[in-house]
Structure 1
Amino acid sequence: MKLTIQSTDLEAVLTAACAVSKSPDAIQIIAERIGEALSEVGPDTEERPAEMGQIRVIAFNENIVSEWRRPAEIKMAGSVAIIPGGLDRLVKASKNSDASFSLETVQTDNEMSLRLSTSRSAHEFPAESEAVFDRIVPGHTNGKRADLGAFARAIEVARVAAAHRGDAAGAKISMTGIHIHRRAGMIDIVATDGKRLAITTLREDTIGAVSLGEAADKGVTIPAEAINMMTSMLGSGPAHVEVVENNIIVEGPDGSVSIRMIDAPYPPYSTLLGLKTTQRIILSKSMLDVALQRSSVSLAKDKRTVAVKMSRGEDGVFITSAVAGQSSSECVSDEPGDEVAVGFDASYMMAAISVFPKSNIAIDFTDVSTPILVTSSSMPEITMLVMPCKIN
């Protein structure tokens, strides 16, 4: 194997591979000419004039198999497996001084090594056995790609309410992921930790490049560790998403990722969407956010949560809180109304309103046993739910 690649391209594929590969797991680097798959023609035995081609970098862990592609000038087609850590650090350290790198496999002390060369230096890294990659097949889809930015944003909104991995075990492990479910011609992208819920509902025909098949009727759950990678791929250009058996495959312009879905039942969240509330308070997001931050910062200090009370009366709407002998009260609206009050966790409410732009927020509620619905007319497809708490 021998090739030349731009430093920015090499850094990009190594960074993506390191996000998947768990040290000391190896990655595989494959050099191919355009129109020639290495698996079909085999490695070159002699160096040839440089031709345009690509490198493919394959990385995997117990839940993800990824393949990343970048253009390169190929002199000898071939492949090598290597522990990525040292190579990745060297490329990052050199990227501002070296526009391109030469990669080649060489024999060192009767062992294969990967040599990285620049105009001023050369570095060698010991190769690993490639046998494991004979069983690793990156997932690919043949579906039409499209702009899935709205789908990516819906996943980002949902993760606000997902449970932390350390807070869920057994069947509840599904609550650490993002759940996707078909419902009456719509697609729900939802997450909940049992105390709050975030849901974005998109029309299925607006995300035609997402092929969930029959799996969407019972729902699919993407593990938390794959969310960053998935949204990054969906946001980098036209993409296609497809469910194949128990994997969800994302195919983008620069690579593909096959993600093993969480095989555990998801909570029946849809029962919460038909709740009828009796009270509504509409507030400016910026006013509410500032009031919640003040109560949280000034009173909580090292405490994990601050319970606040939102009350409305003839003088307007107020946010009040009290912790460790300290108390605060702040007016967030001069609009008077019937006397009502509801309590909630300040941090949960701040997270809920964070997904909306700077516009008015609607807070709908009934009593201490009924979830609070948080919505905005500017983004009607999103609904956030926050469980209330008792107030004095």
Structure 2
Amino acid sequence: MNTEFLTALRDLEKEKGIAADILFEAIEAALLSAYRRNFGSLQNARVVIDRQTGDFKVYSQRTVVEEVTDPRVEISLAEAREIDPRYEVGDVVENEVTPRNFGRIAAQTAKQVVVQRIREAERNIVYEEYANREGDIITGVIQRVENKNVFIELGKTEAILTPVEQMPGEEYRPGTRIKTYVVEVRKTTRGPQILVSRTHPGLVKRLFEMEVPELQEGVVELKAIAREAGYRSKMAVYSRDENVDPVGACVGPKGMRVQSVVNELNGEKIDIIKWNPDPSKYVAASLSPAKVVAVEIWEEEKIARVIVPDHQLSLAIGKEGQNARLAAKLTGWKIDIKSESQMQEIYAQEYSQYYGDGAAGERADDDLVADMNDDLTGAMPCEGDLDK
């Protein structure tokens, strides 16, 4: 090896970002292996490359012992002290044993090692770069679609969007730029494997953080998020500053901020509600856009009974139960939705059981409603309370 080779290593360090010391160490290890393979040496040895001149030398290594059992790896204390009287038992004595015709082998080996280590180092660099981005958004260009897997070009590597992580009804065309959420970065023999998602709730969270300065600054906090990708998402936000409206901050002027996120998600509906430490108010708000009359909660079971106007029942439940399902995911409460007329029937049955058969029939409907409202008072907030 010569100065030209050293220059090439330095250039690689600049272009590829691979430290020259890493390449030197790899070449030294490979030369040692080549030395043992070509010269049939079973002795301990090490190879040293001069970082300034590129010259290499092979040294045998023998351990100083009282009594030699294997002269290939051991040397007696007396013999060692003939070389240097300061040697003690356990020290290692080195002698240069560089073969005369080792230069050609060294050059071939070095070339192979450099190519291999460049690939490995590039893979490690890419892995470290993207491993730190788990839970973040990356932007890439769709390269191809194979077996329903979408491969996204990221520059130095590519990400994989598997079918389960793809949004329903979304088309993935080669050449299209796309934003995805990094779910996991795996280290494989072929390099880093980056798994991304378009369905993860974290995608919605990160998109809003990109659009809403208050979220980036920590003034507004995203407390919870529930998502059914491609259809609807619900997110609960809270403001640490009483003067900042968390919902308004996320919606933005004329709805520009939320609309940007909706556009990125191809029209997915997003409900933004204000988080409330009061479970009854939080549950009521989670059923937005439906209006809630009252909420009754059972703290230990984490069950909430929500009462809505008759004409709002279908809205509160949502298509195929989607609104209620997302509200339950968002709040962590099991939600039972009843209309006002259903509650009248329930209370009528309760009065019948309490006062005896037919007792409720002797009471006017207005009285039952009044009693029902009296029972709800205090236990459940009325509609006016929920808006406060």
Q: So what's the TM-score if we normalise by structure 2?
A: 0.26
Choose between structure 1 and 2: higher strand proportion. Answer: 1
Select the structure with the greater relative contact order (CA < 8 A; seq sep ≥ 6).
1
Q: Compare the two structures and name the one with the higher helix fraction.
A: 2
TM score, norm. by length of structure 1 = 0.25
Higher gyration radius (CA): 2
